A and B are shown apart, each in its own frame.
Chain A
């Protein structure tokens, strides 16, 4: 598959579970992003990785832990989540540094925390 892929597409977890979301980009980009999309809020930027280094952390609770092992893969590790964390989690990638930089989004993982 080309572009940006995310797995799983749907996830239901209890508050005591530990799970991970995976994102993979096949575009040769050097920056990757995690966003949270809730029903009544704007898209919220959570983390930014550029050249595999975290360059942005928008006051995200520590129960969300990102990992970027290489420029093509991005993970979001989840533990002891709350019901209000239920949302669509979107991954995006871009080629950082270019003036015409565009972010390409994955299809998202819809998370439900019970």
Chain B
């Protein structure tokens, strides 16, 4: 069965410091990975997906199949980056007719001034 692990429940950095939120996965197939973010009092929303190889709000994430990781990085954190971040793995359901997301437990990032 697939699993997503985010080892850090809480992460606190100062403004301007680099930040890395760790995500490891276990899945026997070809993984599709996402980062979702939930700002205070806002809904969960997609931040980025590995297949797009994009940078959103200065964040990047590289899929490392050898290490089964998809860590989220930003070189210079901003206060507005403070939020809950969830790593998610997308797989096909048992019937093969639909996709489903498996989420990690989330990491609460706090960027201090």
Pick the contact of A56 from B43, B44, B98 — CB < 8 Å? Answer: B98
Q: State the Cβ distance, A44 to closest chain B Cβ, in Å.
A: 8
B residues 41-63 with Cβ under 8 Å of A? 43-46, 49, 51-52
Q: Tell me if B93 counts as interface (CB < 8 A to partner A).
A: yes
Q: Tell me if A86 counts as interface (CB < 8 A to partner B).
A: no
User: Judging by beta carbons under 8 Å apart, are A96 and B104 in contact?
Assistant: no
Write the B85-101 contact mask toward A (1 if CB under 8 angstroms, else 0): 01000100111011111
User: Judging by beta carbons under 8 Å apart, are A48 and B93 in contact?
Assistant: yes
Q: In the complex, which residues of chain B have a beta carbon less than 8 angstroms from the beta carbon of A103?
A: 46, 101
A55/B93 contact (C-beta < 8 A), A42-B103, A42-B105, A96-B98 known: yes
Q: State the Cβ distance, B12 to closest chain A Cβ, in Å.
A: 20
User: Judging by beta carbons under 8 Å apart, are A48 and B106 in contact?
Assistant: no
Residue of B nearest to A6 (CB): B43
Write the B63-104 contact mask toward A (1 if CB under 8 angstroms, else 0): 000000000000000000000001000100111011111111
User: Judging by beta carbons under 8 Å apart, are B49 and A102 in contact?
Assistant: yes
B43, B98, B100: residue with the most chain A Cβ atoms closer than 10 Å: B98
Q: Tell me if B19 counts as interface (CB < 8 A to partner A).
A: no
Q: In the complex, which residues of chain B have a beta carbon less than 8 angstroms from the beta carbon of A48?
A: 93, 98, 100
User: Judging by beta carbons under 8 Å apart, are A45 and B101 in contact?
Assistant: yes
Residue of B nearest to A41 (CB): B105
Interface residues of B (CB under 8 A from A): 4, 34, 43-46, 49, 51-52, 86, 90, 93-95, 97-106
Interface residues of A (CB under 8 A from B): 4, 31, 33, 41-43, 45, 48, 50, 55-56, 90, 94, 96, 99-108
